[in-house]
Amino acid sequence: MKRLDRQSFLGCNSDEVLDAATVGLVGLGGGGSHHGQQLAHVGIGGFVLVDPDTIDLNNTNRLIGGTQLDVDANLAKVEIAARLIRGIHPGARVKALKSDWRFVLDDLKACDVLFGAVDSFRDRDQLERFARRFMIPYVDVGMDVLEHPDSQFLISGQVIVSMPGGPCLRCCNFITDEKAGTRGRTIRRGWWASTGCLAKRRAGFHRCGHRTRITDALAQSPFHLYGVRWQPKDRVAEPLDDRARASRVPALSTSRNWRPRFRRSTARCGHG
Amino acid sequence: MRSRFKITKGLLASIRADLGRPHPFAYERVGFVLAAAAQSASDVLVLAQEHHPVADEDYLPDSSVGAMMGPEAIRKAMEWALMKKVCIFHVHSHGGRGIPRFSEVDVRESTRFAPDFLKVAPQMTHGSIVLSDDAAAGRWRVSGNSGPHDVSEFVEVGIPMRKWGSS
C-alpha cells in the first residue's frame, strides 16, 4: 500500500507529476501554513518556503504546526512549515528561506506554481506581477475579519487563480491602483494596468445578495475603468458631469475614431 | 546548462493551428516565436511571448524540403531580434505524438541561420523548436558558446499544466 493510493483518481501517473512539481509558498502564516500542509498531503515534491517572520504567541491560534516551544525558541515560520512538510512527506525537497520574497526571486522563478498568502495588497500586486512576468500560475489566498453593521463581524476571503494569459487580480477588481498604491500607465487607446492587462478587457465581481457573480464589464460598456466610459464618436454624447474626476485621468486617446466621454460611475465594476 | 522553455497553452495551440494551414506551394508552414529570457536559480528560462508566421510570399519554391524560407523572412526575424531585444526561435511542426526529433535538414538549416540572430542580439538566446501534436523539442544557442544545446524542459502553462523533457 502506498501513501497516495487513495487519490489514484487524479491519474495513473499523478504521483510522479505531483512529486516533480515545485511550489513556492510566499507567506507562511495563518493561510500559507495550511497550504504547505495540504500540498504535502497530496504529494507535492518540491517546496520553496518564503517568509521573513518568526512565530509570535498570537500566531498560535491559526498557524498550523506552531507550538509554544516554537514561540519560546523564536523559530522562523518557514522552519515550522518545513518541519511540518517533512513530517508528512519525508522525501520532499524543501527550501526554507527566511527572507522577504523580493530577495529570493531566483528561487521563486524556478517554481511551477506560486501561492501567495501575504498581508498587503501591494505585496499581492507585486507578487502577481512577478509571477506573470515569469509565466508562473499564481494562486492568491487571503481572508480578513471586518466589522459589519448588522452583526459583530464579517469573515470574508478570496481564492483567485491568476493564470498567465488569463485574467489577473485587477481584472477581478480585487486589486486596484488605489489599494496597491500604484498608478497604471497610459497607452493610446486604453489604460494599461500595472500587470500588463489592458483595462478594456477587465471583468468585475458584482456583489448580489449573498452570492458573487462575475460579470463582464464589456457587456455593459465598450470601455470602462475607474468611472471613465469610452464610446465611439458617432454615438450620442451625454453631458460631462464630473470634470474633477476627468482631470485626474490622463489624456488617453489621440485616435480620430474615438473620443473620451466622462461619466460618474456608481460602482467600481460599472454595473451600479 | 539547463534550460526551460515556457509557453502558454493558448499560444501553443494558436501556433499549431497556424502551422497546420495549407500553403500555396510549400508542403508545410514555418514561423518564429519571439521570447524573453531570464535566469533562475538553476535554469535559463525562455518565456515565449509571440508567434510570427512566415508570410506566404516569403517562402521559396524548393521541392527538396517541406518549406524553404527566403531571405526576407530571415531579415524580418533579425529585425525583431535587433529592435525588440528578444529571443528568436524558429518553429515548425512534424505532427504526430510524443517528443519529436530534429531532422537532418532541420539541424543543417538551423545551423545556418541561428548564428545570425546572435550577431544582432548576442545578449539573448536563439534557436529552433519543433512541435508534435502534443509535445515539442528545442535547441538553443548563446553567444560565445559552442554548439546548440537541447532545451531541457518544456512547460505548457495552462490548466492542466504540462511539463516534459526533451533530453
CATH of the domain at B38: 3.40.140
> How close A151 gets to chain B, by Cα (Å)?
40
pLDDT value of position A176? 86
CB burial of residue A272 (10 Å; 0-12, 13-18, 19+)? exposed
- For residue A10, the chain B residue with the least C-alpha distance is B160
Q: Which of residues A121, A138, A166 is at a domain's end?
A: A166
Contact status, residue B1 vs residue B75, Cβ threshold 8 Å: no
Res B145: pLDDT: 65
pLDDT of B62 above 50:
yes
Question: What is the percentage of chain A residues whose pLDDT exceeds 90?
Answer: 49
Q: Into how many domains does chain B fold? A: 1
- How many domains, in total, are found in chain A? 2
Chain B residue at shortest CA distance from A163: B158
Residues A20 and A145 both lie in one domain: yes
In chain A, which ranges are E strands? 22-26, 46-50, 93-97, 113-116, 138-148, 151-162, 185-187, 190-192, 203-208, 211-216, 223-225, 228-232, 258-262
Of A20, A134, A165, the CB nearest to B163: A20
Cell of A25: 509558498
Give the pLDDT confidence score for residue A15 in this predicted structure: 92
pLDDT reported for residue A222: 32
CA distance B83 to A227: 37
When pLDDT is cut at 50, 70 and 90, the band that residue B58 belongs to is: very high
CB-based contact B158 A109, cutoff 8 Å: no
| Per-residue confidence band for B47, with pLDDT thresholds at 50, 70 and 90 | very high
pTM: 0.77
**Residue from the list B8, B39, B42 with its beta carbon closest to the beta carbon of A135:** B8
Q: Which of B5, B49, B157 to mutate to test the interface with A (most CBs of A within 10 A)?
A: B157
Question: What residues of B are in contact with residue A112 (Cβ under 8 Å)?
Answer: 155, 161, 163
Distance from CA of B81 to the nearest CA of A (A): 19
Task: Answer yes or no: do A30 and A49 share one domain.
Answer: yes
User: Does A161 lie in the same domain as A171?
Assistant: no
Q: What are phi and psi of B158, to 5 degrees?
A: 175, -165
Asked if pLDDT for residue B137 goes beyond 70, the answer is yes
Query: Which domain covers residue B9, as residue numbers?
Result: 2-165
Kindly state whether residues A101 and A218 are assigned to the same domain.
Answer: no
Name every chain B residue with its beta carbon within 8 A of the beta carbon of A113. Answer: 161
Q: How far apart are CA A265 and CA A152, in angstroms?
A: 31
* Residue A50 to chain B, least CA–CA distance (Å): 15
Residues A100 and A66 in one domain: yes
Min Cα–Cα distance to chain A from B17, Å: 18
Over the stretch B80-131, which tens digit does the pLDDT of each residue have? 999 999 999 999 999 999 999 999 998 988 888 888 898 899 989 999 999 9
First to last CA, chain A: 57
Report CB contact under 8 Å: B161, A137. yes
Same domain, A48 and A81: yes
Asked whether residue B20 carries a pLDDT value surpassing 90, the answer given is yes
Reply yes or no on whether the pLDDT at B29 is more than 90.
yes
Task: Say yes or no: A149 and A234 in one domain.
Answer: no
* Residue A184: predicted pLDDT: 55
Residue A85 sits in a domain whose CATH number is 3.40.50.720
Closest Cβ opposite residue B38 in set A109, A113, A137: A109
Last residue within a domain, chosen from A166, A194, A225? A166
Bond from prior residue into B122 cis (ω within 30 degrees of 0):
no
Note whether A118 and A96 are same-domain residues: yes
Low-confidence residues of chain A: pLDDT under 50: 187-189, 198-272
pLDDT of residue A192: 52
Contact across the interface for A106 and B41, Cβ inside 8 Å: yes
Range list of H helices, chain A: 14-20, 32-42, 68-72, 77-88, 105-109, 121-133, 177-180, 217-220, 243-248
Domain finish residue from A126, A145, A166: A166
Task: Check A106 against B155: CB less than 8 A apart.
Answer: no
Residues B59, B25 contacting (CB under 8 angstroms) = yes
A136 backbone dihedrals φ, ψ, rounded to 5°: -115, 125
**Residues A82 and A184 occupy one common structural domain:** no
C-alpha distance from B7 to closest chain A C-alpha (Å): 8
Nearest residue of chain A to residue B9 (CA atoms)? A165
Q: Are residues A126 and A197 in the same domain?
A: no
pLDDT score at B100: 94
Say what the alpha-carbon torsion angle B111, B113, B119, B123 is, to the nearest 10 degrees: -70
Query: Are A36 and A144 contained in the same domain?
Result: yes
The predicted pLDDT at position A143 comes to 85
- DSSP-derived secondary structure for B84-117: H--EEEEEEE--SSS-----HHHHHHHHHHHHHH
On whether the CB atoms of residues B86 and B76 are closer than 8 A, the answer is no
- Per DSSP, A54 falls in state B
Domain residues for the domain of A198 are: 167-272
Candidates B8, B39, B42; nearest CB to A165 = B8
Q: Are residues A152 and A243 in the same domain?
A: no
